[in-house]
């Protein structure tokens, strides 16, 4: 399974990057909250995000994910949401699709960028 970082979901669903290929995707509950809480979404965009989240696995935070998030936050100086997203990918034994440079330093999870991401 490939876990999607929040920005990848936002950029995909708002058309800033090409649609993702068919695959098994998941997101952290943090991505769910960040995306649906994204300012300026129209009611139609909210519906599109809700449909998307209904089609992927939303990984809920649990005690194990929290402990690994604390470890990743401490060792890699990550922001709390990023640490939880990385820990969720680790927990799901999946790779992480993200363009955040900080998370690419993590060795415990395979992190892959989206090529040709041209976003201001």
Q: What are the tens digits of pLDDT across the range 101-119?
A: 889 899 999 999 886 655 4
Q: Running DSSP on this structure, what letter comes out for residue 55?
A: S
Does residue 120 have a pLDDT over 70?
Answer: no
Report all structural domains of the chain as residue ranges with CATH numbers, in order of start: 2-112 (3.40.50.1010)
This prediction has a pTM of: 0.89
Residue pair 2/26 in contact (Cβ under 8 Å)? The answer is yes
From CA 75, how far away is CA 69, in angstroms rounded?
Answer: 10
How many Å apart are CA 84 and CA 43, to the nearest integer? Answer: 28
Per the CB < 8 A criterion, the answer to whether 5 and 30 are in contact is no
Are 59 and 26 in contact by the 8 Å Cβ rule? The answer is yes
């Amino acid at each position: 399974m490939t876990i999607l970082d929040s920005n990848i979901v936002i950029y995909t669903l708002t058309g800033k990057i090409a649609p993702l290929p068919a695959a098994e995707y998941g997101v952290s509950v943090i991505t769910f909250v960040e995306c649906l809480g994204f300012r300026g979404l129209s009611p139609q965009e909210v519906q599109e995000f809700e449909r998307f989240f209904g089609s992927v696995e939303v990984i809920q935070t649990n005690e194990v994910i929290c402990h690994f998030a604390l470890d990743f936050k401490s060792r890699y100086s990550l922001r709390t949401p990023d640490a939880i997203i990385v820990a969720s990918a680790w927990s799901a034994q999946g790779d992480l699709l993200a363009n955040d440079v900080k998370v690419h330093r993590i060795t415990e999870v395979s992190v892959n960028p989206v090529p040709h991401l041209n976003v201001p």
